[in-house]
Structure 1
Amino acid sequence: MRKAVLTGSVALVIIFGHLGVFFTGLLVGVFRLMIGSDALQTLLMASPVLASTAVAALTHMLTKDAQSADRANEDPFVVVLCLSIPLLLLSAIFLIFILFYWQVDGFGPDQLKLTLGALESAFGAFLGAISKKLFGGGKPQSA
Structure 2
Amino acid sequence: MIDGLRQLLTFRLSEESYGISLDAVQEIRSYTEPTKLRSAPTYMSGVIELRGAMVPVVDLRAAFSMRPARITNQSVIVVLLVGDRNVGLLIDQVDDVADVGPGQERAVPGMVHLVDTMCLQSIVATNDRMILVVDHLRLVEKLGVLTALTKAHDQLEAA
Q: Assess same fold via TM > 0.5.
A: no
Structure with higher strand content: 2
Q: Which has the larger radius of gyration?
A: 1
Structure with higher helix content: 1
TM-score by length of 1: 0.29
